[in-house]
Amino acid sequence: MAAGIPADRIVFSGVGKTADEMRLALEHGIFQFNLESEPEAEMLSQVALSMGKRAPVAYRINPDVDAGTHAKISTGKSENKFGIPYDRALESYAAARDLPGLDVQGVAVHIGSQLTDLAPLEAAFTKVGALITALREAGHDIRTADLGGGLGVPYDPSQPLPPSPADYGAMVCRVTQAWPVRLMFEPGRVIVGNAGALLSRVVRVKQGAKAPFVIVDAAMNDLLRPSLYDAWHDIRAVAPSGKQAAANVVGPVCETGDTFAMGRDMDVVEAGDLVAFMTAGAYGATMAGTYNSRPLTPEVLVSGDRWAVVRARPPIETLIEGDSIPDWLAD
């Protein structure tokens, strides 16, 4: 809302919503809460009643569909923490209808991130369609269907391209054409992934046992994805020499996990050269931290030949100025 998004266009998802967060969302009149469990439904009803309100809700359904993506960003399998089991949905909706602080209006689903195949999405959406029919037959006034996001973007140029937004849209139209509901989508990576790059400077090149180590001044705290789940980012020299060779690209942080690529065929670079980590617009700056006492990197917005620093690099002092020593420890 601080960014100018109207409250009636906001959906609140997440398995760990607190009472304070629920209260704030209700105060501002958000469009919908996507419930993840029966205890959450009961809490939200109580909070809404205490404010003299009814909360608009959907249940997030776990369809037990394998999204075919990395295990750490798969969210629609039965062993994942998200949503309620598909085979228990009718029971959960019946219980929610009896909670006086809830207005049960929709169904939600989101099976994972960086999907490169439409088949899992179609399987999940088909299950949602069947559930909507069953819920309406049971007397529920289902008016919305939140189909989440998840469409992937190309990271590795040697791999086939993921489905396009147009391909995704055609599938959605075909599967949902008979649904008597308002459709909602939550695209994220597919919009911003290719809009960002992380620029880093080569500190030095160190000889390794099998390939040289290209040590850059960016680290896992700046771009966590490769360390967190072995994600691929294309790494390019900003001013390529035309020569390529295998190299290990690593950061300066004091653990082996601070690695961006091993044995990667890439532009030959030297100390002082700039390199770009491509497709870093999604889950890049937003996942960054200050591990190893490293300030956050600045963010620069570029449009044609215009540019502006939209988030400055914090001074190193900010890393410690929030700390304090209690009197009893200083004695």
Q: Which of 169, 192, 215 is the last residue of a domain?
A: 192
Judge whether residue 331 has pLDDT over 80. Answer: no
Instruction: For residue 201, tell me if it sits in a domain.
Output: yes
Q: Is the pLDDT of residue 199 over 80?
A: yes
In single-letter form, the type of residue at position 7 comes to A
Edge-first strand listing for the sheet containing 259-267: 235-237, 274-277, 198-206, 213-216, 244-250, 259-267
pLDDT for 70 beyond 90: no
Same domain, 168 and 251: no
Is residue 269 pLDDT above 90, yes or no? yes
Residues 179-193: pLDDT tens digits? 999 999 999 999 999
Kindly state whether residues 137 and 103 are assigned to the same domain.
yes
- What CATH number does residue 18 fall under? 3.20.20.10
Position 90 in a domain? yes
CA angle 299, 243, 194 (to 5 degrees): 30
| Amino acid 84: pLDDT | 94
Contact 96, 57 (CB under 8 A): yes
Do 83 and 138 fall within a single domain?
yes
Report residue 41: phi and psi, to 5°: -60, -45
Q: Match 């001013």 to its residue by tokens.
A: 239
**Counted domains in the chain:** 2
Alpha helices, DSSP H, located in the chain: 19-28, 38-50, 89-97, 118-137, 165-176, 189-192, 225-229, 327-330
Quote the Cα angle for 284-285-290, to 5°: 115
- What is the overall mean pLDDT for the chain? 95
Asked whether residue 325 is assigned to any structural domain, the reply reads no
Whether residue 61 is predicted with pLDDT greater than 90 in this model: the reply is yes
CB burial string 244-266: b at 16+ within 10 A, e below: eeebbbbbebeeeebbbbeebeb
Q: What is the pLDDT of residues 109-143, one digit of tens each?
A: 999 999 999 999 999 999 999 999 999 999 999 99
- The helices-and-strands tally (H runs, E runs) of the chain is 8, 15
Query: Hey, what amino acid is at 319?
Result: L
pTM of the predicted protein model: 0.91
Higher pLDDT pick, 223 / 76: 223
Q: Band the pLDDT of 330: cuts 50, 70, 90.
A: confident
Q: In one letter, which amino acid is 51? A: M
For 250, the domain range is 196-315
Quick check: 145 pLDDT over 80? yes
Q: Counting beta carbons within 10 angstroms of the beta carbon of residue 4, is it exposed (0 to 12), middle (13 to 18) or buried (19 or more)?
A: exposed
Q: Are residues 260 and 305 in the same domain?
A: yes
Using the structure block, give the residue that is written with the tokens 């399987």: 123
Q: Measure the CA–CA gap between 231 and 190, rounded to whole angstroms.
A: 16
Same domain, yes or no, for 83 and 186?
Answer: yes
Give residue-wise pLDDT tens across range 274-320.
999 999 999 999 999 999 999 999 999 999 999 999 999 999 999 98
CA distances from 49 to 7, 23, 30, 103 (A): 20, 11, 16, 12
Specify whether 262 is located in the same domain as 115. Answer: no
Say what the pLDDT of residue 306 is. 98
Query: Residue 273: is its pLDDT beyond 80?
Result: yes
- Catalytic amino acids? 254
**35: its two tokens:** 């419930």
Q: What pLDDT sits at residue 305?
A: 96
What is residue 259's predicted lDDT score, i.e. its pLDDT?
98
Q: Is the pLDDT of residue 46 over 80?
A: yes
The average pLDDT across 77-81 equals 86
Least confident of 38-52, 92-106, 312-326: 312-326
